[in-house]
Amino acid sequence: MVWSAGVVVVTVAAVAPYLLAGASDPGWWRPVLEWLPPHLVPPYSTADLPALVLTMLAAVALLVGAGCRFAGRRRRSPGERPLGPEEIEDGPPEEPFVALAAERGMRLQRVSTWGLVLGLLLLTGSLVYDDARSVETSRDERSVDYGQAVERLGSGRIEVRLDAIHTLRRLARDSERDRVATVDVMAAYVREHASMAEAGPPGQPATDVQMALTVLGSVYDAPTTELGHAWVCGCDLPRIRVPGANLSGLNLGTAVLTRANLRGASLNGANLAYTDLSGADLHGAYLDSADLPHAVLFMADLSEADLSGADLRGVDLFKADLRAADLGSADLSGVDLFEADLRGADLRGVNLSGASLRGADLRTADLREAILRGVDLKGADLKGADLTGADLTGANPNAAETDDETRLPAGAPGT
């Protein structure tokens, strides 16, 4: 009887959603359909079959378990406890019907327990299968969206390309696998389009190139690691031409930007740790408060650049052009400035502890209140430089070239 009722209930439950989903006015039924798991909502597909079968079997098992428990309780009078197996075997022969009823009650109780346990296991299995299928479906949909977005990058219309870049950015934020691929695609896009004639606002790169650079610098923006970010760009962008680009606050750590044209670019607050900017053109660029520890700026053009408050610890500035650059309050400890051109540079309050200024040209540079402890000044040109109030502990200004216009701090050798 219980099995028959279970089959009838399951059949009705399976058919009812299908019929009501196709009703002419299913408005009152729609909230219920939305509440149900996807595999229970018609129309059904082949992929829905395993979860649907598991759900139906779970419903039958749960109904059988509940029915057996209800039937076992009805066979006992109120307050009567069920007999145990020992009591059934040792019971008096004149009460066979009582013993038989008790044994049947025990069987119903066992069937009820197993039915409920089996039903819950089957129901759990159907939900796990449905979740796994949802994840797979979502992954397939993302793959389709990703492929379409990459294809739209080749469109001749800039609005289509911008929409594709926005789509790739969204997919990259949702999936680590897409994140890695998006960095490669965006880097290739910038390399291909950065030198094209089409441009954006005056003195700035084209809008789509600017957006691609923004994606490259923001797709990995999780904080707190040794480099300051959990992930860094690491993208390959040599020789790109993006003067005036806005890269403020972006994460471009470990990127390769050798010989890149970044004249007048805004890089204030950007993460450029370990970035290779060898031979890059950063004339007039804004790098105030940027993070540049251990970056490579070998022979880079930083003339008239704003580097105030920047972190330049361990940076390679070998033969770099820093004429008239603003380095006020920057941290240049341990920096290699061998034969660097620092004529007229603002170095007020700069920390140059342990730096190498061997052969550097510091004519007319402003080094007031600078920290020059242990600095190598051999062969440096300090003609016309102002070192008033500078800390020259462990440094030897006599190893540098000076003239009558050189202002050394009181008590320094040669004063």
* 301-333 tens-digit pLDDT: 999 999 999 999 999 999 999 999 999 999 999
Mean pLDDT computed over 366-395 = 95
Amino acid 46: pLDDT: 65
pLDDT of residue 171: 81
Q: What percent of the chain has a predicted confidence (pLDDT) above 90? A: 46
Residue 130 confidence (pLDDT) above 80:
no
pLDDT greater than 80 at residue 56:
no
Q: Which range has the worst mean pLDDT, 45-49, 127-131, 147-151, 229-233? A: 229-233
- What's the DSSP call for residue 206? -
Paired tokens of 60: 């039958």
In angstroms, rounded to a whole number, what is the distance separating the alpha carbons of residues 125 and 119? 10
pLDDT surpassing 80 at residue 291 = yes
For the chain, percent of residues with pLDDT exceeding 70? 68
Distances in Å between the Cα of 53 and the Cα atoms of 10, 11, 14, 127, 384 are: 10, 12, 10, 12, 89
Residue 250 vs residues 268, 270, 328: alpha-carbon distances, Å: 9, 5, 22
The pLDDT, as a whole number, for residue 415 is 57
Cα 173 to its chain centre, rounded Å, is: 6
User: Would 333 be classed as within a structural domain?
Assistant: no
Q: What's the domain count of the chain? A: 1
Q: Which residue has the tokens 């550097």?
A: 360
Q: Lowest mean pLDDT: which of 225-229, 310-314, 340-344, 364-368?
A: 225-229
Mean pLDDT across 216-227: 58
Element (H, E) at 101: helix 96-152
pLDDT given at position 223? 40
Question: How buried is 201 (Cβ within 10 angstroms: 0-12 exposed, 13-18 middle, 19+ buried)?
Answer: exposed
The mean of the pLDDT values for the chain is: 79
pTM exceeds cut of 0.85 = no
- Sort 203 into a burial class: Cβ within 10 Å, 0-12 / 13-18 / 19+: exposed
Quick one: pLDDT at residue 109? 75
pLDDT at 5 over 80: no
* pLDDT in the model for residue 36: 58
Strand partners, 246: 266
The answer to whether residue 349 scores a pLDDT higher than 80 is yes
**N-terminal to C-terminal alpha carbon distance within the chain:** 112
Least confident of 24-33, 53-62, 303-312, 319-328: 24-33
Whether residue 179 lies inside any domain: the answer is: no
In terms of Cα–Cα distance, which of 367, 414, 412 is closest to 392?
A: 412
Residue 190 lies in a domain: no
What is the distance between the alpha carbons of residues 18 and 352, in angstroms, rounded to a whole number? 77
Residue 121 lies in a domain: yes
Q: What is the pLDDT of residue 94?
A: 47
pLDDT-based confidence at residue 224 (cuts at 50, 70, 90): very low
Mean pLDDT of the 61-76 span: 68
Q: By residue range, what is the domain housing residue 23?
A: 2-148
Please tell me the distance from the alpha carbon of residue 95 to that of residue 16, in angstroms, as a whole number.
48
Among 6, 23, 154, 13, which Cα is nearest to 71's? 6
Give the pLDDT confidence score for residue 37 in this predicted structure: 62
User: Is the residue at 124 inside a domain?
Assistant: yes
227-275 pLDDT tens trace: 344 455 678 999 999 999 999 999 999 999 999 999 999 999 999 999 9
What's the whole-number mean pLDDT along residues 353-361?
95
pLDDT given at position 225? 36
Q: Does 163 map to a domain?
A: no
Q: Between 13 and 148, whose confidence is greater?
A: 148
pLDDT band at 368 (very low <50, low <70, confident <90, very high): very high
pLDDT in tens, 388-400: 999 999 998 999 9
Residue 20 has a pLDDT of 47
Of 23-37, 112-126, 342-356, 400-414, the range with the lowest mean pLDDT is: 23-37
Of residues 225 and 215, more confidence is placed in 215
pLDDT tops 80 at residue 10: no
